[in-house]
Amino acid sequence: MSAAVQSAAWIRAGALLLEAPAVFTIGTGRSGLALQMAAMRFMHLGLATHVVGETTAPAIGARDVLVAASGSGSTKRVVRAAETAREQGAEVVALTTAPESALARAATEVLVVPAADKQDFDGNASVQYGGSLFEQSVLLVTDALFHALWQTSGTQARELWRLHANLE
Ligand SMILES: O=P(O)(O)OC[C@H]1O[C@](O)(CO)[C@@H](O)[C@@H]1O
C-alpha cells in the first residue's frame, strides 16, 4: 500500500466540494469528531455545510457531496448514509483505510488513508491504540484539502474570519 493519500483522488475530491450546492459530513465516534473539524473549515470557506445528525441538517440532494469517514469502511450508519446519498444523486467522498470496503464501494471518490483501523490489534499498521492514526489522518487530509481550496480561492483570511462563530 502507498504511504500517502493518492493526490489525483484528493484533487478530484476538492473539485467536487467546490461544485456542490451543499456539503454534508458523517462519521461515528472519533472518526466523526475529526470530520466535524473539517466541516467547520468548509463552512469558513463559504461552503453550505451540514453535519449529519444535527437537528438543522436538511435533506441531501443531487450534486451535493457527502464526506464520509470510516477507518473500517463498514460502520453501518456511515455505509447506509453513503448509499442513500448516492440514491439521491449526491456524490460521496469516502475516507477509509479499506479500499475494498462497503463504504468505498458506495463512494464516488475514495481517499485511501494508509493508517490503522480500530481493529489493528497486533499493531501492524500503527503502534497507537485503535483507529487513532486514521482519526488523526482524517484531520490532516481534510485540513490540507481546505488549505488548497482556500489558496486557490484567493480569499483573504480576514474575509474568512467574518464566518467565524460569534455566539460562543
Ligand atoms: O472509523 P470507523 O471504523 O467507522 O469506526 C468509528 C468509531 O468507532 C469507535 O470504535 C467507537 O466509537 C471509534 O473509535 C471510531 O472512531
Burial 3-26 (b: 16+ CB within 10 A, else e): eebeeebbebbbebbeebebbbbb
Query: pTM, whole model, 2 decimals?
Result: 0.95
79, 118, 139: residue to mutate for ligand 1 pocket, most atoms within 8 A of CB: 118
CA distance 56 to 86: 21
Q: Which residues approach ligand 1 with their CB closer than 6 A?
A: 28-31, 70-72, 75, 78, 117-118, 130-131, 135
d(C-alpha 68, C-alpha 86), whole Å: 12
* Domain locations along the chain: 3-161
The amino acid present at 167, given as its one-letter code, is L
* Whole-number Å distance between alpha carbons of 47 and 163: 11
Q: Tell me the CA–centroid distance for residue 126 and ligand 1, in Å.
A: 16
Q: What is the pLDDT of residue 32?
A: 97
Nearest to 52 by CA among 1, 75, 72: 75
Identify the CATH number of the domain defined by range 3-161: 3.40.50.10490
Residue by residue, pLDDT tens for the chain (168 residues) are: 567 788 888 899 999 999 999 999 999 999 999 999 999 999 999 999 999 999 999 999 999 999 999 999 999 999 999 999 999 999 999 999 999 999 999 999 999 998 877 787 888 878 888 889 999 999 999 999 999 999 999 999 999 999 999 998
CA 153 to ligand 1 center in whole angstroms: 33
What span, in angstroms and rounded, lies between the C-alpha atoms of 142 and 36?
A: 10
Residues 6+ away with beta carbon under 8 Å from 106: 79, 82, 83, 86, 92, 94
- CA-proximal residue: ligand 1, atom 2 (nearest): 70
Q: What is the dihedral of CA 31, 34, 39, 41, to 10 degrees?
A: -160
For residue 86, the CA-to-ligand 1 centroid distance in Å is 23
